[in-house]
Amino acid sequence: MTPTQLRAYSAVVRRGSVKLAAAELEVSESAVSLHIGQLRKELGDQLFSRTAGGLTFTPGGLRLASRATELLGLQDITVLEVSAAGQGRRLLRVGASSLFAEHAAPGLIELFAGRAADLDLELSVRNPCTFVESLIERAIDIAIGPPPLSPDPAVSCRPVMYYRVVTVASPDHPLAGTQPTPRQLREQTWLLGPSAVSGSGALRTLLRRLGVPDDRQQIFQSHAAALEEAKRGRGVTAALSFTVAPEVRKGHLVQFRGPHAAIEEVWHSMTLAEPATPSAAGELARFASTPRAIQAMMRGTGVGVARFKPSVHVTLWS
- The CATH number linked to 101 is 3.40.190.290
DSSP 137: T
Number of domains into which the chain is organized: 2
DSSP 147: P
For residue 33, what pLDDT is reported? 92
63 has a pLDDT exceeding 90: no
For residue 313, what pLDDT is reported? 43
85 has a pLDDT exceeding 70: no
Longest Cα–Cα distance of the chain, Å, equals: 71
Task: Name, in order, each residue with C-beta under 8 angstroms of 101's C-beta and a sequence gap of 6 or more.
Answer: 123, 125
For residue 279, what pLDDT is reported? 81
Q: Domain ends where: 84, 109, 130?
A: 84
277 has a pLDDT exceeding 60: yes
State the angle between helix axes of 29-43 and 18-25 in degrees (0 to 180), rounded to the nearest 10: 110
Distance from C-alpha of 137 to C-alpha of 300, rounded to nearest angstrom: 31
pLDDT tens for 167-200 read 999 999 999 988 999 999 999 999 999 888 887 8
Distance from C-alpha of 305 to C-alpha of 300, rounded to nearest angstrom: 15
Distance from C-alpha of 244 to C-alpha of 166, rounded to nearest angstrom: 9
Using alpha carbons only, what angle is made at residue 53 by residues 52 and 54, rounded to the nearest 5 degrees? 95
Residues 185 and 304 placed together within one structural domain of the fold: yes
Residues 307 and 192 placed together within one structural domain of the fold: yes
Residues 54 and 173 placed together within one structural domain of the fold: no
Per mean pLDDT, which of 52-56, 134-138, 161-165 is the most reliable? 161-165
Residues 59 and 107 placed together within one structural domain of the fold: no
Residues 8 and 125 placed together within one structural domain of the fold: no
Residues 117 and 252 placed together within one structural domain of the fold: yes
Which of the pair, 44 or 137, is modelled with greater confidence? 44
300 has a pLDDT exceeding 50: yes
Pairing mode, strands 90-96 and 142-145: parallel
For residue 83, what pLDDT is reported? 63
For residue 318, what pLDDT is reported? 40
Residues 100 and 79 placed together within one structural domain of the fold: no
Distances (CA, A) of 255 to 124, 264, 286: 31, 15, 33
Residue range 275-294: average pLDDT?
A: 86
Three-class SS state of 121: strand
Other Cβ atoms within 10 Å of 52 Cβ, number: 4
pLDDT tens for 253-276 read 999 998 899 999 999 999 988 766
Least confident of 48-52, 167-171, 182-186, 308-312: 308-312
Residues 75 and 164 placed together within one structural domain of the fold: no
For residue 71, what pLDDT is reported? 82
Residues 23 and 130 placed together within one structural domain of the fold: no
Query: Residues, the chain, total?
Result: 318
Q: Domain ends where: 41, 57, 84?
A: 84
Three-class SS state of 39: helix
Taken in order 232, 236, 242, 247, the sign of the CA dihedral is positive
Q: Domain ends where: 37, 69, 84?
A: 84
| Cβ atoms 75, 122 nearer than 8 A | no
For residue 310, what pLDDT is reported? 39
Q: Which pairs from 311-316 meet CB under 8 Å and 24+ separation?
A: 311/73, 311/74, 311/77, 312/69, 312/70, 312/73, 312/74, 313/70, 313/74, 313/124, 313/125, 314/77, 314/122, 314/123, 314/124, 315/122, 315/123, 316/77, 316/120, 316/121, 316/122, 316/123
Distances (CA, A) of 268 to 15, 124, 147: 47, 16, 6
117 has a pLDDT exceeding 50: yes
Q: Which amino acid is at 175?
A: L
**What domain range is 17 assigned to?**
3-84
Q: Which amino acid is at 171?
A: P
- The CATH number linked to 72 is 1.10.10.10
Residues 19 and 60 placed together within one structural domain of the fold: yes
